[in-house]
Structure 1
Amino acid sequence: MADETATEFTPETLTNGEDNSPAIGLISQYVKDLSFENPNAPAVYQWQAAPEMDVQFNIGAEGVGENLFEVVLKIDVKSKSSDGTAFVIELQYAGLFGVRNVPEDQLQPFFLAEAPRILFPFARRVIADAVRDGGFPPLLLEPIDFHGLFMQQLQTQQGGAEGIPTPVGEA
């Protein structure tokens, strides 16, 4: 008598020897664009006023091939004091991610929350090094809660779509 359980399949079963479980992997990461401007050198090195930092960031994701997506973390920093602009740095730090068997509704949360969390420490180092190489003390950006910001953005979109006032919070 043949063993009937040998023909049963579980959800993790391999089809034709191919793994059909969902997976996302980082293939490569790289500096896509980097600009450092020091418009008031050499006078800036003698300024006594403490600078104010304006840090802006943006996240973008796009398909670049079959099951390949590029996520770009864009960080802009302006350092200004009462004497003028000390420096301006613009960085686009990117990661190339391979995606397999991931439901479409799970891609956006990954690309806008998890992927930037993975890329941020490396982008932070590039900025610190560029600022230091420009003659200033290294700029160490504070960690960013990308998941919290993503959830806040979702609440804002859902609240705006339903006409419900959205709560105001800190980023």
Structure 2
Amino acid sequence: MADETSIDINPAPQANGEDTSPAIGLISQYVKDLSFENPNAPAVFQWQSAPQMDVQFNIAADGVGDNLFEVTLKIDVTAKHDEGTAFVIELKYAGLFGVRNVPDDQLQPFFLAEAPRILFPFARRVVADVVRDGGFQPLLLDPIDFHGLFMQQVQAQAEQAGDAAPVGQA
């Protein structure tokens, strides 16, 4: 007879019935703010030069209640031709996350790396649809490595803290 090993993925409930396991869940996601400007219509549709795209993004996380956090992915896109600006998009796409029993030191990595990764495909679709509805070819934003960017930010902060530390004693 083979020796079987089982792993209980459902920990035994606490004596008082309280679930103390850490959990984060997406409650809702939504467009918080959206602006599309086509300042040079209809002339823009006759321009022959290829646009230069400037894409900027920012991530914010705010506590909005007990164990509730809103993570907002802000995406700004400007398309410029030699002749002028074709379009400008400003999007704030947000998610409402419920948090239970998660240590504070694990919240920032989740909110600045994992939550944007969850929200990005939906924000990307909104941008593509808005650009298409504005009369242009849909703009498909390249995927973003939020985890890699977060790790770069952590490393840069650690290097700055190292530079500020005194060397030796006076």
Q: TM-score, normalised by structure 1?
A: 0.88
Q: CA separation in 2, counterparts of 1:14 and 1:149?
A: 38
Q: Which residue of 1 aligns with 2:13?
A: 14
Between Structure 1 and Structure 2, how many residues are aligned? 153
Q: What aligned pairs does 1:39-78 form with structure 2 within 5 A after superposition?
A: 39-78=39-78
Q: Percent identity?
A: 80
Q: CA separation in 2, counterparts of 1:124 and 1:143?
A: 9
Q: Which residue of 2 aligns with 1:37?
A: 37
Q: CA separation in 2, counterparts of 1:82 and 1:163?
A: 43
Specify the SS of the correspondent of 2:112: helix
Q: What aligned pairs does 1:76-87 form with structure 2 within 5 A after superposition?
A: 76-87=76-87
Q: CA separation in 1, counterparts of 2:55 and 2:32?
A: 19
Q: Which residue of 1 aligns with 2:104?
A: 104
| C-alpha RMSD over aligned residues | 0.9
Structure 2 unaligned regions, length at least 5: 1-10, 165-170
Can you list the C-alpha shifts for 1:94-140, whole angstroms capped at 9, x where unaligned? Answer: 00000000000000000000000000000000000000000000000
Q: Which residue of 2 aligns with 1:24?
A: 24
Q: CA separation in 2, counterparts of 1:18 and 1:94?
A: 30
**How far is 1:163 from its partner?**
1.0
Structure 1 unaligned regions, length at least 5: 1-11, 165-171
Q: CA separation in 2, counterparts of 1:161 and 1:117?
A: 28
Structure 1 segments, 4+ long, off by >3 Å, are none
Q: CA separation in 2, counterparts of 1:88 and 1:62?
A: 26
Q: CA separation in 2, counterparts of 1:104 and 1:125?
A: 32
Q: TM-score, normalised by structure 2?
A: 0.88
**How far is 1:26 from its partner?**
0.1
**How far is 1:14 from its partner?**
2.2
Q: CA separation in 2, counterparts of 1:105 and 1:14?
A: 25
Specify the SS of the correspondent of 1:21: coil
Specify the SS of the correspondent of 2:86: strand
Q: What aligned pairs does 1:111-150 form with structure 2 within 5 A after superposition?
A: 111-150=111-150
Q: Confirm whether residue 90 of structure 1 aligns to residue 90 of structure 2.
A: yes
